[in-house]
Amino acid sequence: MKTLNKAALLLLSAGLAGSMMNVGTVAAASKHTTHHVKSIIKEKKHTYKTLKYGQKGTEVTFLQKRLHERGYSVAVSGTFDKKTEKSVMNFQKKFYLNETGEVDRATRTAVYADQTKPTLHTLNMKFVGWADNHSFEAISVDTKEPIVFQAYMGDWDKQLKDGKAYQLSFVKHQNGLYILKEVRGLKK
């Protein structure tokens, strides 16, 4: 299956394909530089249309092609069916997006990006304590700002001790939650 070039993907991620352009225009984007495509996007006042179950059209076809390229089992039919919805939900779960099955701006941007896994952030933090069974507070060693992390106490309570400093690796969910993925002790 032929992959779309960067200029065409940029148009798609901005939500400009299909609603104001036809397939030929998107294909012609291969002749444009990324800079030119960005200027097209800036000129157009476009309201992004969320893709969801039951919709049909070019934008759905492009979505299905991209999901298929990323390894999701979805037929490229141009109809947003149950299998497409399930693939979108699986993608959203993997990238810590809201699992709605609908393709909003955040989901579309992630689908058309080159990134294959969520971004892992790392900060040096001082553990303050557990707020409840699934969240704890830590304070940045550098900025002294507090952050509440989401983590199941049973998985991390033996590693995290009050007052100790750690290097915490986490992903940030679309809804703003920090989800703990790894803990390393800091050397003094």
* 151, HSE (Cβ side, Cα atoms, 13 Å): 27
Per-residue pLDDT of the chain (188 residues), as tens digits, is 344 444 454 445 445 444 334 444 444 444 444 454 455 445 544 556 899 999 999 999 999 999 999 999 999 999 999 999 999 999 999 999 999 999 998 899 899 988 888 888 999 999 999 999 999 999 999 999 999 999 988 889 889 998 999 999 999 887 788 999 999 987 75
HEC per residue, 115-155: CCCCCCEEEEEEEEEEEECCEEEEEECCCCCEEEEECCHHH
Extract the tokens encoding 100. Answer: 């709605």
For the chain, which residues make up each domain, given as ranges? 6-112, 121-185
Extract the tokens encoding 33. Answer: 């530089």
Q: Do domains 6-112 and 121-185 have the same CATH topology?
A: no
pTM value surpassing 0.85: no
Looking at CATH, the fold of the domain delimited by 121-185 is given as OB fold (Dihydrolipoamide Acetyltransferase, E2P) (2.40.50)
Which secondary structure element, helix H or strand E, spans residue 28, and what is its range?
Answer: helix 23-28
CATH architecture assignment, domain 6-112:
Orthogonal Bundle (1.10)
